[in-house]
């Protein structure tokens, strides 16, 4: 079957967003073939300056983080606080199908960039909005990052750790990337309807709501008060002891996952050499296990702890039971399945180095993989984009000289 064009070819997107969630959404839309113009302030997206946080080289010569969130876009630098810069932004919005921003509501309204104002002028516009805490409620105007709105207040850090330990060390982008993909899914649905009916809509995804959705299975279960759902919890007290990670004899943590405990118990016990427990009423069925959780934890822990990783993997595969090694990032970068499934790509940077980068996680069978290149330099496409809006060379140079726009600038 011949290759198809990418699904969003011909769709115009304007991004007025910083950091990760909004740019991630637009990077995915670009992967789908949309023409994305990223509008940056003269100082640039703050994510261009986070190298020290991530232990990587500073500057555009090898900016893996900016590439991760912004590959496939054009970058125009406008000072939207000036009349001329604001006018150029308005011209971009006027011709686009999708506008994505993560500005907080008050600045948006003051600038006339809120959905109500824009939709009155452009009824078909699809407005993608990234929020920390949502558009309603007493804390809707609080600043939000994934460390705070997602991990902390969203019920992740306060629950998902062993009770005898301390909360996890969160990593930047974890919640943002989920928000970005969720937002893209809503935007695509709204775009479809806009093309069918001529009426656009605002699509809002917040970090806070996303986290609540992510923990929702156990959040609803928590209401029933069973001790096994009152997180944080000790691993020894988890209701299904076949869903707990253990360490092998050679020091590898392995996560086993058998949610259908009663169906898989008899298959698992021989893996750890405890066939004698297959009919033990203390541990089977799962309802009986609840009075013997710590005892069974010790049995499984010692059983896995007596096996090397190689032995455990062989036995689990022969029994056709689900498990996975708890990999470090160094291991993940070399994982043959990650490479074989096109999750990873090798990208060349201006300094000549090649780095492993991650693709967005939606793969089409009959559509080619999108190109993966470095992110655009600050203002790299300002002149081209403004020329496309009808500005003459003289007008563009005058805007740059007046600080209303900026040409290409290399960071670092």
The catalytic site residues sit at: 176
- Token couple for 79: 């000072």
Q: How far is the C-alpha of 254 from the C-alpha of 243, rounded, in Å? A: 10
Does residue 139 contact residue 145 with C-beta atoms inside 8 Å?
no
Burial 113-138 (b: 16+ CB within 10 A, else e): bbbeebbeebeebbbbbbbbbbeeee
- Token pair 């917040």: residue: 206
Q: How far is the C-alpha of 27 from the C-alpha of 40, rounded, in Å? A: 15
Residues 6+ apart with CB under 8 A from 83: none
- Token pair 């090898």: residue: 62
Residues 6+ apart with CB under 8 A from 121: 94
- DSSP per residue over 262-294, as a string? HHHHHHHGGGGT-GGGTT-TTTSSHHHHTTSHH
- Token couple for 109: 């309204």
- Token couple for 274: 């405890």
- Token couple for 231: 């997180």
Cis status, amide bond into 285, omega within 30 of 0: yes
- Token pair 């056709």: residue: 320
Beta bridge partners of 405: 78
Which DSSP state fits 151?
I
């Amino acid at each position: 079957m011949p290759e198809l064009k990418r699904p969003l070819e011909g769709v115009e997107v304007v991004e007025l967003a910083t950091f990760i969630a909004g740019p991630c959404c637009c990077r995915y839309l670009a992967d789908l073939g949309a023409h994305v113009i990223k509008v940056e302030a003269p100082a640039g997206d703050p994510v261009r300056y986070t190298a020290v946080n991530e232990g990587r080289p500073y500057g555009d010569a090898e900016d893996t983080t900016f590439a991760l969130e912004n590959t496939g876009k054009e970058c125009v630098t406008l000072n939207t606080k000036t009349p001329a810069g604001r006018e150029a932004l308005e011209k971009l919005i006027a011709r686009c199908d999708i506008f994505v921003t993560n500005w907080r509501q008050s600045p948006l309204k003051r600038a006339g960039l809120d959905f109500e104002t824009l939709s009155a002028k452009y009824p078909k516009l699809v407005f993608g909005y990234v929020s920390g805490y949502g558009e309603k409620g007493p804390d809707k105007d609080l600043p939000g990052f994934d460390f705070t709105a997602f991990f902390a207040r969203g019920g992740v850090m306060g629950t998902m750790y062993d009770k005898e330990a301390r909360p996890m060390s969160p990593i930047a982008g974890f919640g943002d990337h989920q928000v970005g993909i969720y937002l893209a899914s809503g935007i695509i649905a709204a775009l479809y309807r806009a093309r069918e009916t001529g009426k656009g809509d605002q699509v809002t995804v917040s970090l806070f709501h996303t986290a609540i959705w992510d923990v929702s299975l156990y959040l609803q279960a928590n209401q029933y008060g069973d001790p096994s759902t009152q997180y944080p919890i000790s691993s020894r007290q988890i209701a299904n002891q076949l869903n707990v990670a253990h360490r092998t004899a050679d020091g590898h943590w392995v996560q086993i996952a058998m949610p259908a405990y009663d169906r898989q118990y008899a298959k698992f016990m021989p893996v750890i050499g405890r066939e004698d427990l297959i009919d033990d009423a203390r541990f089977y069925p799962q309802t009986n296990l609840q009075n013997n959780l710590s005892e069974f934890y010790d049995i499984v822990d010692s059983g896995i702890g007596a096996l090397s990783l190689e032995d455990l993997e062989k036995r689990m595969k022969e029994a056709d039971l689900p498990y996975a090694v708890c990999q470090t990032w160094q291991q993940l970068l070399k994982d043959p399945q990650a490479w074989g499934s096109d999750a990873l790509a090798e990208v060349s940077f201006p300094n000549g180095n090649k780095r492993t980068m991650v693709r967005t996680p939606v793969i089409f069978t009959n559509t080619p993989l999108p190109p993966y290149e470095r992110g655009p330099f600050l203002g790299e496409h300002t002149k081209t984009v403004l020329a496309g809006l009808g500005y003459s060379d003289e007008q563009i140079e005058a805007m740059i000289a007046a600080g209303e726009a900026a040409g290409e600038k290399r960071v670092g």
